[in-house]
Amino acid sequence: MFDRRLVSNFDWVLLLTVLLIAGIGIANLYSATYSWRSAGTPLYLKQLLWLSGGVLLAQLICLFDYRHLEHFATHIYGLSLGLLVYVLVVGRTTMGATRWIDLGFFNLQPGEVIKIAMILLLARIFSKATNPFGYGLFELWKPAIWLLLPVLLILKEPDLGTAMMVIFISGTMLLFAGLKRATLIGLILLGALIAVAGWFGLHDYQRARIRTFLNPDADPLGSGYHIIQSKIAVGSGGFLGKGYIQGTQSQLSFLPERHTDFAFSVFAEEWGFVGSSVLLFLYLFLIVWALYVARRAADKFGLFLAVGVAAMLFWHIVVNLGMVIGLLPVVGVPLPLFSYGGTSMVTMMIGVGLLMNVSMRRFMF
């Protein structure tokens, strides 16, 4: 029987915040691609289509109780892992990376799907375990294997940025679940050792990105070009910006990848410090609201789901903004709900749907 409380507790604040950010992103995409001449469908219309599909998918997710997902978490994880194997075998290769499955009407990126799968799986694991004193190192072997398998497959594509996101999301959920102090210190040391050893396993272009991050002026017309032009665009926006469709870095095509990785650079140049502050405030409000949903969740599974989605949004925002202003290496992480990308948009909207589901059912026990 339909419960009217589901309608009365629908999270309009969350949905409207997401739509506002995505709407600004589509307007920014229109400006970023204004000077492009293409016979096909403009990118901003494609993004609007993906947003519409994502909103519909989010509403469909709200129709069933999120608790049912706990029983299918391992199945969803296994399917996502299978897609990562499949993409390595028959996936479409672009610019030396095999990350997409060509479905004809849509290029699916399994690396995005695995983020949701890991959130569901870890929420199931941590919600069932009761450990008031925190997890020890030897109690984490199973979650570590679940995490290691997709990360290794993603690095094989190669896609360092997505692998980092999966690790950051999982690590945030683990920290929230609780760690013993000795375990935390041990994981930090282990991570440092892996990072040092991992340097020798990186591809040449990935090492170049890190060197460029440390000294972008060493190769201003080569590997340092992207970040230098991005910093020029952000800085030239000043306090109020140059105006809509008036950014010289984007309209004169100095800024590469301005519809994806460096979409925020376009926005900052056109709207300046004031506009950027408004957008950052909206993102901050979205993260805080996601944590508010987590705090009000009716059960531990819903709590960890909301924390996982909040972590996914948070780390994408931090890494992308760090990239475009030169605080972090360029690793190809999109700005959520803002940068162009069908799979990324749909993945984020699935996360939003999970948040709304948890929020709507906070009164049910």
Indicate the domain borders of the chain.
Answer: 7-33+43-360
> What angle in degrees, to the nearest 10, is found between the helix axes of 342-360 and 110-128?
30
CA dist., res. 9 & res. 12, Å (int) = 9
What dihedral do alpha carbons 276, 280, 281, 286 form, nearest 10°?
150
Strand, helix or coil for residue 152: helix
Q: Contact, 283 vs 21, CB < 8 A?
A: yes
pLDDT at 217 over 90: no
CA dist., res. 338 & res. 341, Å (int) = 9
Radius of gyration of the chain (CA): 21
CA dist., res. 125 & res. 129, Å (int) = 6
Residue 247's pLDDT is 86
Residue 79's pLDDT is 95
Instruction: For the chain, give the mean pLDDT.
Output: 87
Q: Sorting pLDDT into bands at 50, 70 and 90, what band is 15?
A: very high
If one compares 204 and 273, the residue with the highest pLDDT of the two is 273
At 231-248, the pLDDT tens digits run: 899 988 899 999 999 988
pLDDT at 330 over 90: no
Strand partners, 92: 100
Q: Which of 72, 238, 206, 239 is nearest to 249 (CA)?
A: 238
At 133-161, the pLDDT tens digits run: 777 877 888 888 999 999 999 988 888 88
Strand, helix or coil for residue 92: strand
Q: Sorting pLDDT into bands at 50, 70 and 90, what band is 1?
A: very low
Question: What value does the mean pLDDT take over residues 123-142?
Answer: 81
Report DSSP state, residue 91: P
CA dist., res. 57 & res. 352, Å (int) = 10
Residue 272's pLDDT is 94
* Residue 247, CA atoms < 13 Å, CB-side half-sphere: 37
Question: What value does the mean pLDDT take over residues 268-283?
Answer: 96
Compute CA distances 316 → 5, 26, 164, 333, whole Å.
33, 18, 10, 6
Per-position b or e across 15-48, b if 16+ CB within 10 A of its CB: bebbebbbebbbebbbbbbeeeeeeeeebbebbb
